[in-house]
Amino acid sequence: MRQFVSETGLDSDGCIKVGGDKFRYLASVLRLEEGDMLYVRLPSGALQPMTVARVDGQSKTLTLSLAGSPAKAADASGSPADDLSAPPAGSALLSAVKAAPLENAGRFRFHLFQLVPKPPKMDLIIRQATECGVSSIIPVAGEFCQKGNVESAVKKSSPADSRWQKVITEAREQSGSPVQTEVLPCKKFEEALAFWKEVPGGGLLGEALGPEAAERGGPERGTAVPAAPGSAKMAFVLYERSEGTLPVHRAVSEALARAFVPQAQMAVQEVPVAQTASRANGRAISQTAGRAISRANGRSSPLKNALENADIAVMVGAEGGISPSELEKAKESGFIPVHLETNILRCETAALYGLAIIQGAVMESDIWKLNE
């Protein structure tokens, strides 16, 4: 479903005024006219149906107004008001449909550690990763990365450059992704590993931290924030050689074993002793975790909370791949080497393919199991 990603919230009249490049996109590309309806992704992440109320060709502005039957109002941040009869002082009463919740935006947070390739390839990777719902993209200066490519990534990932943000916005509008994807500042390989170690699991890498976060006394952009209790994290690194690597589903089972052993032990008290003895095996843990989550049936449990708050990292090499020394460092930092049993892939293809297959394996880990 297509959507329009708004950089501003609703005003006191329940409207959003659009100008500049956004106006040209809506009026010339989508050819919207007065009375047309579209879905708008508010800064809060909520999805709001809105109607084109006015198109002003002279001032090059387009006004969007709340659409639908009267329901709870939404304030400028997109959060619902508690009482329609008592609007905040100084603001008009909003007649609006309740904004849709963030669809599947909170179960997992995927983070792409991408060793920097050539600029056009990096642009494509950012676009595709956004469409896949990745939360954070971290450009990494690897041993085999070319100096010019790294310099370009350093410039484009700085807050002063908006090119990659435009790529992300276009991808979100095309794909309908509810995830507020963010590109963090480019880091050296060792810095990227240290950064991941600081993420406790269940903590955002900074995708919801705007440039004003530090001014509010909060964490700076690109820093880890405290995790939810009982949350977990998993990390994978794609490697072109098969030695010392695991297939995708076996790697996910291994990651589940590392991440969820304590939670599985708390959540599954009645598992037979014979099966408990094999918990060190990733396959058994994966199956145990799946059954525990299924039995929860929406109820809170340590394992269910851990799974729903998991942060998952995927590291992908540039054109030259990842060096053996970098692979060893990644392993020491908790990354599990994964080998994709397919043809030799370009780095931009590997990023998309690797993200998709690992996402599928992790998100469906409660319904599949490895063969004996």
Q: In a 3-state reduction of DSSP, which class is residue 350? A: helix
Mean pLDDT, the chain, rounded, equals 76
pLDDT in tens, 65-104: 987 533 333 333 344 444 333 334 333 333 334 455 445 4
Q: Which of 265-274, 287-296, 329-338 has the lowest mean pLDDT?
A: 265-274
Predicted local confidence at residue 46, as pLDDT: 83
Q: What is the SS3 assignment for 19?
A: strand
Is the backbone of residue 336 left (phi > 0), alpha (psi -120 to 50) or beta? beta
Integer Cα distance of 360 and 115 in angstroms: 23
In this predicted structure, which of 55-64, 81-90, 163-172, 214-223 has the lowest mean pLDDT? Answer: 81-90
Average pLDDT for 248-264: 77
What is the predicted pLDDT for the residue at 153?
97
Question: Up-side HSE of residue 26: CA atoms within 13 Å toward CB?
Answer: 33
Task: Tell me the pLDDT tens digit for each residue of 312-361.
Answer: 999 999 998 999 999 999 999 999 999 988 888 999 999 999 999 999 99
3-state helix, strand, coil in the chain (%, to 5): 35, 20, 45
Question: How far is it, in rounded angstroms, from Cα 131 to Cα 181?
Answer: 9
- Predicted pLDDT at 201: 63
Burial class (CB in 10 A: 0-12, 13-18, 19+), 138: buried
Q: What is the pLDDT of residue 139?
A: 98
Q: 291 falls in which pLDDT band (50, 70, 90)?
A: low
Here the tokens at position 121 are 């390839």
**SS3 of 240, please?**
coil
Instruction: Say whether pLDDT at 152 is over 90.
Output: yes
- Residue 15, classed as helix, strand or coil, is strand
Note the pLDDT tens digit of each residue in 179-234: 989 999 999 999 999 999 988 764 444 333 344 444 434 445 444 444 444 467 89
Does 121 score more than 50 pLDDT?
yes
Residue 322's pLDDT is what? 94
Strand duo 47-56 + 61-66: pairing: antiparallel
> Could you give the CA distance from residue 17 to residue 62 in angstroms, rounded to a whole number?
6
User: How confident is residue 236, by pLDDT bands cut at 50, 70 and 90?
Assistant: very high
| Confidence at residue 309, expressed as pLDDT on a 0 to 100 scale | 74
Count of all residues that appear for the chain in the document:
372
